[in-house]
Chains A and B, each alone.
Chain A
Amino acid sequence: MTLTTSLRHLLPLLALAALLAGPAAAQQPTSVNPTASSVKEKQLLDALKPGSTDTVSGRISIPDARAGNLIQPAGKEFRTFRQETLPTVGGYAIVGMLLLLSLFYLIRGRIAISTGPSGQTILRFGSMSRFAHWLSAVSFIALGLTGLNLVFGKTLLLPIIGPDAFTGLTQVGKFVHNYVSFAFALGIILMFVMWVKDNVPSLRDLRWFAQGGGLVGLGHPPAERFNGGQKIIFWSTVLGGAALAVSGYLMMFKPIEIAIGGLQLATVIHGLVGLIMVAIIFAHIYIGSVGMEGAFDAMGKGRVDLNWAREHHSLWVDRVAKSRPKDISGGHAPAPGE
């Protein structure tokens, strides 16, 4: 006889014994004081560490573990972040950057090639580099606009176009944001692999900054393939892009392990890094287009004027002239295919 079957035979006997003992047990004075022993909500809420993502939770009989969270006060901090902190920080960063760039343009104007264009060009970015750059750039603009819509759209756009149109736009924006993220992540990985060896910070970068980087003050400090400013853009793009990708994919795929506190944190990081990246990229777009003569050619055609390159990347030009003279188009004759 197994244990369970023997128990089955014993059960009626046990039940009978309980019945007989029942009235006696009920007559005993109860020592349980429900007031003193009852769990109280206030005690549980007070026991949570302030600022933590802990929840008041218990056992649940439905097969969804997350439903066991009874009260999560961290939602209040999430609300404050999303409604106050994020729009404030993002708004100041973006508007501040645009004001700063406008002011810079008014004072400094377009930075010209001081010796004028030479007519000779030097290969700056090959087709693969330009592909990676524009892949990241186009997808960043799509991600940035759809992301900004989630933060500022309700305040700025919704009153103008109405709830139905705004929802349609935001719904499409959500899908675009989800899908385009893969292209952006690929672009960031490609740029990292191709350019990391030229972006290792060095002492020369400090001297470059100390001399104003050719942006303020006179003369152009010597620089390698990438100067200090460009290295800052590179690392903020790579590190910021990585932070956006990791936090974004956590939100998209929601692994059960990170729970609600992790998702809230991922949203906070994603929002802050995203808005600051938008502000940084404004500076990058400015200096790569209207802000500096000859700069756009680097990513546009892939070849830049030799005089521009000598001013901004003197050490790199010397190195290319020695190791790959073919990259510099000879004399004043136009390069084949141009």
Chain B
Amino acid sequence: MARMKFLCDADRCIECNACVTACKNENDVPWGINRRRVVTINDGKPGERSVSMACMHCTDAPCAAVCPVDCFYTTDDAVVLHSKELCIGCGYCFYACPFGAPQYPKTANFGSRGKMDKCTYCAGGPEADNTKAEYVAYGANRLAEGKLPLCAEMCSTKSLLAGDGEIIAQIYKERVAKRGYGSGAWGWKTAYKEDIAT
């Protein structure tokens, strides 16, 4: 089985935000929630880089560890998913997540958190694959159709890579070797406790 990961080659990201838009559209993400976002570091300064970031589907995921109702699970492809049936919207996963991935619609009393929403790696949720119930709650299940997350598939500069960790790491290493520089695999040390030497 593949170990699915995301890798954003910040030296290629042009901050077009198409990944953000594609994600919102493909998964019908509710208003006010962005499962993916592009953050520009050192904006306007020399060395400025943009990084597209979403849930990194961590190894030993902190969200799953702190969840009081144990609503998270990891698929055979190492994608971290959760059940909105079980989620109570407490916010602990948001506190523990290093990447700010979990978000909550403001639907409950006192405008408090509703059921958590985050990137599913376009892999849906615990419901049966590609059912209406799954789509309404979690969005598309492209993985079940043999496709990769749309954000990475349609990235115009192929900055955002998705797929088996070893393969995308190899692609990135080759790029760095060829062009002679690379700002690193953002978030990999934090999410996967490994880094790609550049």
Contact = CB atoms under 8 A, between A and B. Distances in A.
Partners in one complex: yes
Interface of A: 32, 34-35, 37-42, 44-45, 56-62, 64, 66-73, 75-76, 78-79, 82-83, 149-151, 153-154, 158, 163-164, 166-167, 170-171, 174-175, 178-179, 251-253, 260, 263-264, 267
Contact of A83 (B66, B69, B110, B190): B66
Contacts of A263: 91, 95
A285 to B, nearest CB: 26
24 contacts: A38-B10, A38-B47, A39-B42, A39-B49, A39-B183, A41-B184, A41-B187, A45-B189, A45-B190, A56-B41, A58-B41, A60-B40, A61-B17, A62-B20, A70-B51, A70-B186, A71-B99, A75-B95, A78-B66, A82-B66, A154-B67, A170-B68, A170-B69, A179-B109
Interface residue SS majority, chain A: helix
Interface in B166-184: 180-184
Contacts of A175: 109
Interface in B30-82: 32, 34, 37-43, 46-49, 51, 53, 62, 65-71
A61 B38 contact: yes
Interface of B: 10-11, 15, 17, 20, 32, 34, 37-43, 46-49, 51, 53, 62, 65-71, 85-92, 94-100, 109-112, 180-184, 186-187, 189-190
Given A42-B184, A67-B37, A79-B62, A166 B95 contact: no
A263 B68 CA distance: 17
B48 A39 contact: yes
Nearest to A158: B70
A60 B110 CA distance: 28
